[in-house]
Amino acid sequence: MTGSIVADTRGREAGAIVLRGLRKAYGPVPVVRDATLTVPAGQRVALLGANGSGKTTLLKVLATLLRPSGGTARIGGYDVVQEADAVRRLVGFLGHQTYLYDQLTPVENLTFYGRLYRVPDLRARVAATLEAVGLSPRRTALTGQLSHGQRQRLALARAILHDPAVLILDEPDAGLDLAGLEVLARVLCNGGRTVLFTTHNPDRALDLAQRSVVLIGGRLEDQERSPDATLAAYREHLGVAR
Ligand code: ADP
């Protein structure tokens, strides 16, 4: 089934993200203290917060790249620690590292990842995904010779290649030109996926997300306010005028 909201075998929504008292410390230093959040399948949520507030840490825990120190996180009903393989199949992750090989072409990079994820009909899927992010003309260039924005597009292509129900994206708008931002908007808003993404651009949060949550002091401030109201509260927290 393609990027859609399906019930998994345990009757839970495949795309839902549920955090309960999630904690993550680096050694003795707590970063995420008590993150609680329920994102229904298909909802797009912007995760806001000052530099160093723990956004990347939280997203890496959800992407199974970091082990939480306490609490629980479930995606599609699967626990990110106990059922990490199932979570990885459901999730497409874009982080600050692109996880791309410079000495391979975009086609080769995607083919490599597609085999890892056992993507069916891989040749056609790679071609269609490169087309979706506007990279078809550079498909046989060396990835190391792509511009920063083009590599960001390729990293996005890698994240969506296995058609995940959930996208977890850390600053996906970084380095994108206007055409790249349109690509990003299409990827985020089409296909009914659940999306949790960070951005430092409040207008982008308003444009792309149906809901915004703010990480403050290791806790998620989520008063179910409108995105506008949440952003106003965030600006106030940062001491930044509109
Ligand atoms: P954000 O993405 O909101 O900018 P991060 O999650 O990257 O925040 O970082 C949150 C805090 O955790 C920062 O104080 C950062 O220095 C610290 N931190 C991040 N990664 C590590 C690590 N691997 N070891 C120790 N401290 C870390």
Q: Report the distance separating Cα 242 and Cα 113, nearest Å.
A: 42
pLDDT band at 227 (very low <50, low <70, confident <90, very high): low
Pocket of ligand 1 (CB under 6 A): 26, 31, 49, 51-57
Looking at the CA of residue 53, tell me the nearest atom of ligand 1. 3
For the cut 70, the answer to whether the pLDDT of residue 6 exceeds it is no
Q: Report the distance separating Cα 234 and Cα 98, nearest Å.
A: 28
Amino acid at position 89, single letter: R
* 17-101+164-238 carries CATH number 3.40.190.10: no
Both tokens of 103, joined, read 């000495």
Q: Helix 122-132 and helix 148-160: axis angle, to 10°?
A: 140
Looking at the CA of residue 57, tell me the nearest atom of ligand 1. 6
CA of 26 to the centre of ligand 1 (A): 8
pLDDT band at 91 (very low <50, low <70, confident <90, very high): very high
CB 237 within 8 A of CB 216: yes
Looking at the CA of residue 215, tell me the nearest atom of ligand 1. 3
pLDDT band at 35 (very low <50, low <70, confident <90, very high): very high
Both tokens of 13, joined, read 């929504």
pLDDT at 224: 57
| Helix/strand/coil (H/E/C) assignment for every residue in the chain | CCCCCCECCCCCECCCEEEEEEEEEECCEEEEEEEEEEECCCCEEEEECCCCCCHHHHHHHHCCCCCCCEEEEEECCEECCCCHHHHHHHEEEECCCCCCCCCCCHHHHHHHHHHHCCCCCHHHHHHHHHHHCCCHHHCCCCHHHCCHHHHHHHHHHHHHCCCCCEEEECCCCCCCCHHHHHHHHHHHHCCCCEEEEECCCHHHHHHHCCEEEEEECCEEECCCCCHHHHHHHHHHHHCCCC
Look at 69-78, 124-133, 219-228 and tell me which has the smallest mean pLDDT.
219-228
In this structure, the residue with its CA closest to atom 20 of ligand 1 is 57
User: What pLDDT, in 10s, does the model give residues 106-155?
Assistant: 999 999 999 999 999 999 999 999 999 999 999 999 999 999 999 999 99
What pTM was computed for the model? 0.90
pLDDT, the chain, mean:
89
In this structure, the residue with its CA closest to atom 22 of ligand 1 is 26
